[in-house]
A and B are shown apart, each in its own frame.
Chain A
Amino acid sequence: MTFEVMRPKYVGARVQRKEDPRLLSGSGRYAADVQPTRALHVAILRSDYAHALIRSINLDLARAMPGVIDVIDGEALASELKPLYATSRMPGYKPTALWPLARDRVRYVGEPVVAVVATDRYLAEDARAAIQIEYAALPAVTDANLSLTAQSDFLHPEHGSNLLVSRNFSRGNIEQAISEAFRVVSGQYRFTRTTPVAIEPRAYTAEWDRRLARLTLHSATQAPGIIRDALAEVLELNGPSIRVLAADVGGGFGGKVSLYPEEVIVCFLAQKLTRSVKYVSDRQEDLISTTQAFDQTVKAEMALDSSGRILGIRASILGDAGAYSIYPWTAALEPMQIAGFLPGPYQVPSYEADVQVVATNKTPSGPYRGVGRPGACFILERLIDKAAKEFGIDPLEFRRKNLVQPDQFPYKTGSGIVWDKSGFIECLDLAAEVIDYTTLKDNRDAAKAAGRWFGIGIASYAELTGLGSRMSAAPGMPINTGTESASVEIDATGSVIATFGTASIGQGLETTLAQIVADEIGVRPEDVTIVHGDSAAITHSTGSYASRSTVLAGGAAHKAGKEVREKLLKAAGFLMDCELLELEIEDGVVRQPATNKVLSFKDIGRAVYSEMGRFPLALRQELDLRATSFYDPEFGTTTSATHIATVDIDPETFEVRVLRYVAAEDCGRVINPQIVEGQVQGGVAQGIGVALMEEVIHDPQGQIFTASLVDYLVPSAAEVPSIEAVHLEAFAAGTIGGYRGMGEGGTIGAPAAVANAIADALSHLNIDITELPATPERLFRLVTTANQEKA
């Protein structure tokens, strides 16, 4: 069976989004919008110590406060439920027990300790203030290096050290490559801690159904299926007793794809109290308790031969996991992805990476848009630029020479990842053409000659998207991330309904999936009802992350849609008494062009389900208008891109302004150009935030300085330039439909492109950008030091 839609009418078109009317009119339903009758409200008391033993907890005063229904601590929960562990098949990996409320010990500022339930949120917070806890402070470890060498006061004493993951990858002979190299460029890079900051803070409403004695959790999650399965496990419930719904989610970016303590807490309480229970985090809680991102120090060196070809890369990666190894992704996710993607889209014959991940007294870290790849791209692209400079080769030419060449696909990288054919060089050329690189260089030289700190930065990368079952989204993880299903049906009213397990977190999935189903079946996208974000609607699913939804769910939609179309034609053919090949379907009508006979889907639905007598008995047995298909792309597919940015640095204030930004991307077949453009622009804006302003800052005692949006800055419209996104659809991906995932790319390329542009702007001072964000303060120090060295 082939999956080329004969005449795609909607795939590729700028179809207006189906989700927009409700979201534009304030009629969306985010988790905090759900208001079950007599719902109770939870306030969480969080640790204000980074590391301490809990000596005593006194809840008596709180219990006596007005409106308070219940107050629970870790011990109360421990007798009723099991802890969860994020397990992994990875050798030597150490999981950590995940309790929803701390027991005995707290390990980060913001860790939930007590939950108060009251009749409204204000009263719950009043009672929270009356809780008395006595802590015995322990030394906090907030530096990954110190955590690694610590001899005592381990976060998880049962492990006898703070080391959670230790792995080594190697391929080829890196020792030899380095000793025989003509040049070696190296650096120590620091990718500081950031946090996702979806504008919707995390929120969970557990709705108790008195009649059926079961729970519906309305969750701000990207992964309703993962959450349902985990909650069923922790609360020891069977599947139908708990349904996880994510109707509208206000952005995720990886921050809403793990199981959170509060999800367990509201469900536990709703069950215990047989009432609906709601928790909505405020921004401060979100900034200190949502999984944070990055936080790695990487030493890397690149060996080159005399012509400027890369011989090998060696890296040692130290990752700071924060306090726990989160479910289901584990502490290994981010640092291992850095190791996996560090060879990038280049020909790198020898490679070695050493990965260590330690626990520290900080908020647990987890996936963030791009996972590992923004850091890998930053480090690699800095090395590439440094090498190009050493060899006196233009950075664009240097990349062209070292990128995997069109005739080298499929190309197996040093870390074992295989790139299928993707437009590596083509994206480089396209970005250069769109930005007019040659003229731009002249302009830069003129600007620099006139004393301006103006620079150009290039970043090329490749990523694997739409991972199938043979490439887990996180190494050794016990959940299956490699398949998604689609169920498509035409009901008795002739309406088309397509059901998916993925969740829509803003990426327009309702629209793009409807476009695919519409083309396969022959209706308009507005006539396809998409059901998603509901664990009860499907047998198994995991959710939306890792740029997988369009590839996997889209592929399944093609398969199921095609099958339903065949069934529909069979029924129509019988009803119209003609050969199937003579029939055409368009906009919900089946037509026999020769005779101009028509049947609407409504007519066919009625006949199939309500007037079965019109079909012969044999046909009746098998005739329904629905199909469920699974799709597993096995390995996944390669998305590649080149970004080019220009920056201007103010020599007085050290403020960096990004002036132009071009992203040329090969994301396979484009389903909806406007949506793709929006994904790239949004991703780049986040990457600019990483490059210039976003940083979670802890003091040595583990207190977070960046617990408000005044202190943790995210880019506003005033700081983000207009972002030009151009697409290359040169090569069909091997996936069904030819799609490649593209939800994360913008964030992967931007930190590197901006960092390279800054280094270029300061090239007269020979400044290396080794640490992001490049805040005015950091740049001021770099420039001051460079000037002193010069003098």
Chain B
Amino acid sequence: MLNRRTITLNVNGEAHELEVEPRHLLADALREGLGLTGTHIGCEHGVCGACTILLDGESIRSCLLLAVQAEGHEITTVEGLGDSNHLNFLQQKFREHHALQCGFCTPGMLMTATELLNQRTSLTERDIRDALSGNLCRCTGYDHIIAAISEAIAETSGAGP
């Protein structure tokens, strides 16, 4: 059980060495091992989406992946977007539209939305609602989140909102 091993995780462009047990979740390794507590854990069973990160650009749930499985991949967490003094474009849209209240779901929402934004296709409100249906927010009622993402997508994909 105390079968620990050293792995290297590439997170936000930096390589980190850390010691984990094979059973350690990636979410735990990021939070406890690397101190990257921006990735939140809301359910540990793949439903709430709070732990969403990008693995090689694709959104995944870090509570459903073991840390050892992430070796050799490029991980992006919310800390890899803009910092509090330099919010990136999407983070700014969230702020302008008041798309967060308690902020607990927000890192997961941002990562899912980053993936949508990177696809550079125009999406209807319905598409965005469906794409976000795996990210639960208990505070906002979603309207402002949808508005922030719609506007971000519209402004980057060149299509109208």
CB distance from A402 to the nearest CB of B (A): 30
Q: Is the CB of A709 within 8 A of B47?
A: yes
- Interface pick from A22-30, A569-577, A589-597: A22-30
User: Given A27-B84, A253-B138, A678-B144, A198 and B104 touching (CB < 8 A)?
Assistant: yes
Contacts of A122 on B, CB cut-off 8 Å?
A: 21, 23-24
Q: Is the CB of B45 within 8 A of A506?
A: no
Q: Is the CB of A19 within 8 A of B103?
A: yes
Q: How far is the CA of A403 from the CA of B63 in the complex (A)?
A: 51
User: Given A27-B38, A283-B44, A678 and B140 touching (CB < 8 A)?
Assistant: yes
| Complex interface residues of chain B between 31 and 84 (CB less than 8 A to chain A) | 31-32, 35-45, 47-48, 50, 77-79, 81-84
Q: Mark B129-159, 1 if CB is under 8 A from A, else 0.
A: 1101111111111111110000000000000
| Complex interface residues of chain A between 29 and 49 (CB less than 8 A to chain B) | 29-30, 32-33, 35
Q: How far is the CA of A283 from the CA of B129 in the complex (A)?
A: 24
Which of these, A25, A29, A201, A674, contacts B81 with CB under 8 Å? A25
Which of these, B83, B135, B139, contacts A25 with CB under 8 Å? B83
Contacts of A517 on B, CB cut-off 8 Å?
A: none
* Chain A residue nearest to B149 in the complex (CB): A717
Contacts of A16 on B, CB cut-off 8 Å?
A: 95-96
- Would you call A718 an interface residue if the criterion is a C-beta within 8 Å of the partner chain's C-beta atoms? yes
Number of contacting residues on B, CB 8 A? Answer: 64
Q: Is the CB of B45 within 8 A of A708?
A: yes
Q: How far is the CA of A704 from the CA of B76 in the complex (A)?
A: 37
Q: Is the CB of B82 within 8 A of A25?
A: yes
* Chain B residue nearest to A14 in the complex (CB): B98
Q: Is the CB of B83 within 8 A of A250?
A: no
Contacts of B23 on A, CB cut-off 8 Å?
A: 122
Which of these, B39, B95, B128, B136, contacts A24 with CB under 8 Å? B95
CB distance from B78 to the nearest CB of A (A): 4
Which of these, A23, A248, A681, A684, contacts B144 with CB under 8 Å? A681
- Would you call A714 an interface residue if the criterion is a C-beta within 8 Å of the partner chain's C-beta atoms? yes
- Would you call B105 an interface residue if the criterion is a C-beta within 8 Å of the partner chain's C-beta atoms? yes
Which of B42, B78, B96, B125 is packed against the most chain A CB atoms within 10 Å? Answer: B42
- Would you call A200 an interface residue if the criterion is a C-beta within 8 Å of the partner chain's C-beta atoms? yes
Which of these, A22, A33, A716, contacts B84 with CB under 8 Å? A22
- Would you call A231 an interface residue if the criterion is a C-beta within 8 Å of the partner chain's C-beta atoms? no
| Complex interface residues of chain A between 397 and 424 (CB less than 8 A to chain B) | none
- Would you call B15 an interface residue if the criterion is a C-beta within 8 Å of the partner chain's C-beta atoms? no
Q: Is the CB of B130 within 8 A of A718?
A: yes
Q: Mark A94-120, 1 if CB is under 8 A from B, else 0.
A: 000000000000000000000000001
Q: How far is the CA of A683 from the CA of B87 in the complex (A)?
A: 28
Q: How far is the CA of A680 from the CA of B140 in the complex (A)?
A: 9
Which of these, A20, A21, A199, A683, contacts B48 with CB under 8 Å? A199
The 6 closest A-B pairs by CB, nearest first: A26-B38, A506-B102, A250-B104, A23-B103, A681-B141, A685-B141
**Interface residue ranges, A against B (CB under 8 Å):** 16-17, 19-30, 32-33, 35, 66, 120-122, 126, 197-201, 248-251, 253, 280, 282-283, 505-508, 674-675, 677-678, 680-686, 708-710, 714, 716-718, 720, 722-723, 746
Some 29 contacts from A to B, beta carbons below 8 A apart, are: A16-B96, A20-B94, A20-B95, A20-B100, A21-B85, A24-B82, A24-B95, A24-B100, A25-B79, A25-B84, A25-B87, A26-B81, A28-B38, A29-B37, A35-B32, A122-B21, A126-B1, A198-B104, A199-B138, A251-B102, A283-B42, A283-B44, A681-B144, A683-B141, A686-B138, A717-B130, A718-B133, A722-B125, A722-B143
